[in-house]
Structure 1
Amino acid sequence: MSARANRVTEAYLAKCTAPDSRLRHALADLDVSQTKRAAWPRLLPRPVMVDEAEFRAFGRDLVTIYELVTSLPQRCFDGDFERFRAALGIDDRRGALMRRLLGDGPPPLYGRADMYYDGSSFKLLEFNIGSALGGLDMVGTLPKAYLRIPAFAEFAAAHGLRYLDMGGDLAEALRDAGKAIGAGEPVVAVLEGPGGMAVYGHQRRAIAQLLAEQGIDCRVGEIGDLTFRAGKPHLDGTGVDVILRYYALEEMLAHPDGDALMEPVFRAHENGTVVVWTPSNVFGNKGTLAMLSECSADTSVFSAQERAVIDRVLPWSRMLGRRGAGSDERFIEECVQRREQLVFKPTGRFGGEGVLIGPEVDDRTWREALAASAQTGCLVQEIVRPNLELVIDPETGARSEWYALWAAFMTPAGLSGGGVRAVPPGGTTVITMINNTKVRNTCLFTC
């Protein structure tokens, strides 16, 4: 982190060393609704501080990366979406479904960038361009709760702490989306896939509460809960104008009724009775970052300024198993030799599923994963070493170190907030809430 962020962090830790410090016990004093508390089951004992100028500069770079990713069909495939999606390993059926909601232009800027801080700058690991974003309900809500604690409010005032509040930016984006079909104040439905509410219901209800605080009429349910009247979707008997989509294409394709559930939503979107936000996650495919990395030196594809952004924020990345890329045997051997420097990420999966950190697995496991991915596709990326955040245990006062995975949330307004997922050293460095119970979440304050 910058010298300023480090100074503020050290001052916070120093305040927490006293056993009777109210700042040290701030997490226990958080006043949040039961809905939101249920959505955040595992929290780090403190927020993380970030230099606001540095964070905003990275946010501007992310806008550029988004623009480059969404322009890849035009820049590299002569505007042919079919060639583009085939180069990403997306088959005909999936490509056709993605195209139905996409339209002729790129989707609106909306996504979550996951990154590490390598000691001098942020490095982009993944850019989840699409609607199913985890953690957004915490971005502004948790900082507000901290600031209601007198000890924290006093510290924040003394050190000029601020925060980005995604709720307002998201509400504005959804209102703008509703205007496309003539909705004044839109009714928004946060929709899960079949059975999704049993697993993620607490998180979706927290998003609905966040939007309600911004004056949005928001309903929560599963795609199968929709009914249709004259082609318009209804939820709980109320017409829906905007769908904030949390059902994924892969889960719908795996469900026996997936096509039947999606078809009326497709038609409603195409006929202008509802807006699906956002329409397609094709640009969130991990292979798009490999395309940027591979072409970063090509002056015929990117300008000098664009190449500088790619080189500044994106680690060396390549895709394995892409159609038309030639034989993968030589590349597999190169990756085997470089195992200690690389991470393996299957394309088309999420939540850290299937990710392998080269130094954490043996040669056989690594080679087998690479060989299998020659048919299914994967991203191979140079490892970025994450920074460590120090935390004071509220009960014992002991200091501990945590690896930090940073998140930057983007909306049409640009950078709209951030957060951190953290894990203690000693186990896997794959930081995901889905399959690692040691992971803790927290919010960001800028300084």
Structure 2
Amino acid sequence: MNPVTARYVADPALAGAVAAADLPPAYRHYWSGTLLSRPLFVPEPDLLACARDAIAVLDLLGSLPRRVFDGDVTRYCATLGIDPVTSGLLSSYYDGPPVHYGRADFYRDGSSFTMLEFNVASDLGGLDNASLHQALLGVPAFASFAEEHGLGHVDTAAEVVRSLRAASAVPDPVVALLCADADLPAYRDLLGSFVEAFSRLGLHAVAGGLSEVRTRSGRLFVGDTRADVVLRYFTVDHVPANSEVIAQILRAHENGTCALFTPMSSSLWSNKGALALLSDARWTSEAERALVDRVLPWTRPLTADLVDQCVDERESLIVKPPRDFGGHGVVAGWETPETAWKELLDQAVRRSYVVQRRVTAEPEPVADPETGEVREWIPAWGLFVTPEGFAGTFIRAVPQGGGAVVNLGANSKARVAAAFTCQPRICRDAPRGRSRRTPRRSGR
């Protein structure tokens, strides 16, 4: 536990800071009941070093089709177990390495971060996380604590807005956040919180379903609103049922009338099998292997020749489907009886699953604001990257012993938290006096 955390947990004046925060309406509506009762604190250099590693890993992922398959995306897809229809679509959309936009999820053990997966896609949760940071800074007790300890954060929405503006051909773009109609009931409130966060930054944004898209005089509209940039919450999996409207969006992008922020080929990189490929030392240089060994746990395609090893090492392994997200389909060996584990392995071998070494995270003490009881929680650190670089954090946590999957969609015990950076001299050593440093609102 670093000194800033220790001081926060011990200060009764801060116990109710999250509950007292004046959250924006849409953010409060979506996230109410899912917020951890305190923020987390991390030395700024540790977080920035982790972000640099994440970007370097993304570049390595983007090089895999070229360095392993001589640029043959179809062979790459086959190795990752992607079905022929999806493979054909991804091959047709492929136009080179991925855009630097995604969220890498890590566990932290002391000062080191270990990557669990990389969500290289547009359909990311947590873009609105700075709404919680800023609301906390509006609580007098927390504002005083933040000033004393030199706390800072990066506003993810601000970084994403900057990238969306850069992608647009017009100086004051309208951004459409679009998802498949079938997903709209589940996504509507989340997208509404994103629209709210973008609006406070002066960006006009609208959210809607693909069925609302129209083309008029060569321009793309969502309902009656012209769209200059599309931030997509639909994926290649939605193409077969929405081929005509997605073709309209792609034509508008090609014609320069509406930018599609990230290409449809994102699924090539977010597939967990890509991390397993990256773990194969044959495809990396000595320096690259040092990066991979530092950042990634042992990760392999689950093949028949690994089954016996996976049976013997059940307590230290976790099995993941290659393309599911939100923690769905993930099975931890240490939570699974031996017979069920063997049955899972037999099925997973035929379904291109990956197996990964268990990562032990450093727990965070969290005090119950009503009882004062302190309980340890396990956080997963989501780090955003944009074309501009590091773009903030999105933290989810579960109580220790509350399950191996740290995700709201797959674990009802999971909660969301803000994370603030602090300077090493404060995070790692007790400060000698009150600092006059003003908390940084944007991380710049």
TM over 0.5, shorter chain = yes
For 1:158, the aligned partner's letter is E
Displacement of 1:12 in angstroms is 0.6
Among 323, 348, 352, the alignment partner of 1:348 is: 323
Cα separation, 2, equivalents of 1:267 and 1:98: 17
1:85 aligns with 2:85: no
Residue matched to 1:286: 272
Once the 2 structures are TM-superposed, how far is the Cα of residue 54 of structure 1 from its aligned partner? Answer: 0.5
Q: What residue number does 1:269 align with?
A: 253
Map 1:41-56 to 2 at 5 A. 41=32, 42-56=34-48
Question: In the aligned structure 2, how far is the partner of 1:419 from the partner of 1:48?
Answer: 11
Q: What does residue range 134-145 of structure 1 map to in structure 2 within 5 Å?
A: 134-138=125-129, 140-145=130-135
**Is 2:153 the partner of 1:163?**
yes
Note the C-alpha offset of 1:100.
Answer: 4.1
- 1:225 maps to 212
Relative to structure 2, which stretch is displaced further, 435-444 or 241-250?
241-250
- In the alignment, does 2:199 pair up with 1:216? no
Residue of structure 2 in register with 1:304 after alignment: 286
Equivalent residue, structure 2, for 1:425: 400
Q: What residue is the counterpart of 1:119 in the other structure?
A: 110
Q: Is the 8 A contact 2:317 2:358 kept in 1?
A: yes
Unaligned runs of 5+ in 2: 423-444
Post-superposition Cα deviations, 1:134-177, rounded to whole Å, max 9, x if no partner, equal 11211x22111111111001011111111111122111111121
Q: Check the 8 A contact 1:344/1:381 in 2, yes or no.
A: yes
Name the residue aligned to 1:323. none
Q: RMSD of the TM alignment (CA)?
A: 1.7
Q: Hey, what's the Cα distance between the residues in 1 that align with 2:195 and 2:87?
A: 30
Could you tell me which residue of structure 2 aligns to residue 399 of structure 1? Answer: 374
Q: Distance in 2 between matches of 1:365 and 1:271?
A: 53
Give 1:72 deviation, angstroms. 0.8
Deviation at 1:398, TM superposition (A): 1.1
Per the normalisation by structure 2, the TM-score is: 0.90
Which deviates more from structure 2 when the two are superposed, residues 76-85 or residues 400-409?
A: 76-85
Partner of 2:235 in structure 1? Answer: 248
Taking only the aligned residue pairs, the percentage that are identical comes to: 41
223-232 or 235-244, which deviates more: 223-232
Name which of structure 1's ranges 118-127 and 88-97 shifts more when overlaid on structure 2: 88-97
1:383 to 355, 358, 374: 358
| 2:25 is the counterpart of 1:39 | no
Bigger shift: 57-66 or 269-278? 269-278
Measure how far apart 1:262 and its partner are: 2.7
Q: Deviations over 1:79-103 (max 9, x none)?
A: 2222222221223321232244442
Aligned to 1:441: 416
Gap change, CA 1:316 and 1:84, over 3 Å in 2: same
Q: Shift in Å at residue 129 of structure 1?
A: 0.6
* 1:187 correspondence with 2:179: no
CA contact (8 A) 2:319 2:332 kept: yes
User: Hey, what does 2:299 align to over in structure 1?
Assistant: 317
Please give the secondary structure, in 1, of the residue aligned with 2:279. helix
| Distance change in 2, residues 1:315/1:85 (3 Å) | same
Aligned to 1:200: 187
Q: Deviations over 1:419-440 (max 9, x none)?
A: 2211112332211111321111
Change (3 A) 1:54 1:120: closer
Q: CA deviation at 1:221?
A: 0.5
How far the C-alpha of 1:342 sits from its partner, in A, is: 0.5
Question: Are the equivalent residues in 2 in contact too, given 1:231–1:264 (CA < 8 A)?
Answer: no
Q: Deviation per CA, 1:249-272: give whole Å up to 9, x if none.
A: 33554xxx3334433223333443
Alignment partner of 2:348 out of 349, 361, 373? 373
| Equivalent-residue separation in structure 2 for 1:401 and 1:89 (angstroms) | 38
Distance 2:71 2:404 in 1: 38
Whether the 8 Å CA contact 2:402–2:413 is kept in 1: the answer is no
